Chains A and B, each alone.
Chain A
């Protein structure tokens, strides 16, 4: 459970983030939320799917990283085994929050319980700090390049969420989604069924009237649609990872 507090120079002068620990946030997740802007990176290594949030029934856009609910085959010894790490993990341990529920402006928060968060207190100072530990603030109270970069990622994510909502509402309105039902046999002959995942309906897309295609293109969404379609074959890579884990 995340323990979020608003980042403040006065309070967090000695707060450090250990980037090599960030990957661990992907543990136990078989669906990692994505924004449309990163689809071209993700689609070359993982299947991109749509799934429904269990609590709200709303669609989420996500990378499939495992075949069981808590299985993430992309993580080995706490390290991400791919070239591109989804922004949703990259941004850890930072979050965007609001100081009060009705506040108009966003504030940057940090998860104090994250394995990537450290306090360089006197006591800790005696130990050896991890070599890659990064401070948020310089001695003069100004923001470090690392922290500025972290905030940039949050801004990207925030912006990307709007683009994602636009993509999802277009896909639904144009009836471009279809459920996918997969039955996979692994090398040890065990069989798993994947339910509750959705992808692009290729036939429906092929029949889409030109004006809808143009609108998707003008909104910058057409690339995302094709990236999702093209990512389907990455399921074989994921199956190979599973077979390797099974010892084959």
Chain B
């Protein structure tokens, strides 16, 4: 590398591929470096985006803010609704009444006391189940309870979701809330909306053309991409947002793909869009994930339709059987609807940033949408690229190495967390569920944590990286929602502040009462946003 290229400033970022990944990355870079860095997005005309990922994380609120997008405009134009977490139905034993929540609000008292340990101890050894001979039931402890489920006792959001209520009212300012929330959105409309915003407000240049070749520099960097009709497009940094094709990172750089289908078995999705029967039909304010014999069905309520899909493992059931399962869930309406089959190759590239090329979105990898990880990984990638954009080519390799470490860690953690949902199930209706519990399919990192959690609840010190994706609270919601019970008997002496616990449970009940009085239904609030909009304060 010549000295000149080493000190070469990063002036032009070329993003290959549109879709949500391309436009979110373009937008974050342009918003952060407006006027200093030229952002060009090349998009193949006529290639429809895959359009997966209709669920977001609460991070999307900060992403929209960073892009300077009005929440009202976003909700109106992207068919968006509020999402307050996920309801996992029939995951534990498959019975009709079997469900738990992974809400977006932290457990009551989380961080102030080991509430999960108290809850476990109270529900296992408390007065209502006071048959245990191993512990004394202190009078203070006997006053706490009764206990129902972890997510309902310690989080008011489950009650809000069960009643189909919104996380805020029309009097709340944009992005403000009573209860933490994310969105459900129409992926196709979101792409169009982002494109317009990026071009009109953030100065992103748009070239509609096919990239047909890569021109390399002597150091192996991409000097330019050759387009069909616009000649060579040169740049200092190239972002690969070409979807499953992974044109730059996969095809050009031959960065290997690491499959993880030995851990996560799902490899196919059957997706369908289900219109509401009436225009005032209730909109669920959470993602509903219902376990089936060889996978699970997602159910996401948008303004005008639901997005429903069966993700299953084809080595355990045929497509015909899967279609039947989906039809049973959707009902007779499915006869008139188009079912789209999407192959899922679970896994990720072994590096995401190679030379002066970084992959964002499906070109980096994909996992089943169990915890809506697709869009959040795009957001986190776009944020890190924008905020750590190398000043010169000389420092790019350092940023690249750090980016790779960060995201390899994140992918591993997401894979662990998704697997956690499967290993505690008691379902015995197919080899799919039995094999999921086979130790050979469980990453060692997750096995280690599970051994620790036999004796105590997940805590913040289990997750000490700055790059954590899921906090300890998320593990608690899934573990105890799935019926796992850490043995707390040996902690009974430490668990000595039952008055505090009683006040926290009381506080949660109070929050439920207040929320149910104050909050409108999800549908009602969406209608008001369409009519009046939120204020910016």
Contact = CB atoms under 8 A, between A and B. Distances in A.
A198 B533 CA distance: 18
Given A52-B171, A196-B171, A57 B528 contact: yes
Contacts of A198: 537
Given A57-B169, A57-B170, A52 B535 contact: yes
Interface in B499-537: 528, 531-537
Nearest to A56: B532
A57 B171 CA distance: 4
Contacts of B535: 52, 57-59, 172
Contacts of B532: 56-58
Sort chain A's interface into a size bin: 10 to 19
Nearest to A58: B532
A54 B169 CA distance: 9
Contacts of A178: 537
Given A56-B528, A57-B528, A175 B536 contact: yes
Nearest to A51: B171
A208 to B, nearest CB: 16
Contacts of A53: 171
A172 B535 CA distance: 8
Contacts of A172: 535-537
A198 B172 CA distance: 13
Sort chain B's interface into a size bin: 10 to 19
Contact of B170 (A56, A175, A196): A56
Contacts of A207: none
A53 B537 CA distance: 14
A55 B537 contact: no
Contacts of B536: 172, 175
B346 to A, nearest CB: 43
Interface in B162-184: 169-172
A201 to B, nearest CB: 9
Contacts of A57: 169-172, 528, 532-535
B171 A54 contact: yes
A90 B503 CA distance: 51
A83 to B, nearest CB: 32
Contacts of A229: none
A15 B265 CA distance: 81
Contacts of A179: 537
Given A56-B528, A56-B532, A57-B532, A177 B537 contact: yes
Most chain B beta-carbon contacts within 10 A, residue among A55, A57, A172: A57
A49 B432 CA distance: 62
Contacts of B533: 57
A57 B535 CA distance: 7
A227 B169 CA distance: 30
B128 to A, nearest CB: 39
Interface in B82-131: none
Contacts of B170: 55-57
Most chain A beta-carbon contacts within 10 A, residue among B531, B532, B537: B537
B529 to A, nearest CB: 9
Contacts of B534: 57
Contacts of A196: 171
Contacts of A177: 537
B537 A175 contact: yes
B442 to A, nearest CB: 49
A222 B191 CA distance: 41
Contacts of B528: 55-57
Contacts of B171: 52-54, 57, 196
B75 to A, nearest CB: 13
B158 to A, nearest CB: 26
A247 B171 CA distance: 36
Interface in A28-70: 52-59
A89 to B, nearest CB: 25
A204 to B, nearest CB: 11
User: What 5 A-B pairs are tightest by C-beta distance, nearest first?
Assistant: A57-B170, A56-B532, A52-B171, A57-B171, A177-B537
Given A57-B170, A58-B532, 19 more contacts: A52-B171, A52-B535, A54-B171, A55-B170, A56-B170, A57-B169, A57-B171, A57-B172, A57-B528, A57-B532, A57-B533, A57-B534, A57-B535, A58-B535, A59-B535, A172-B535, A172-B537, A177-B537, A198-B537
15 contacts: A52-B171, A53-B171, A55-B170, A55-B528, A56-B528, A56-B531, A56-B532, A57-B532, A57-B533, A57-B535, A58-B532, A172-B536, A175-B536, A175-B537, A198-B537
Interface of A: 52-59, 172, 175, 177-179, 196, 198
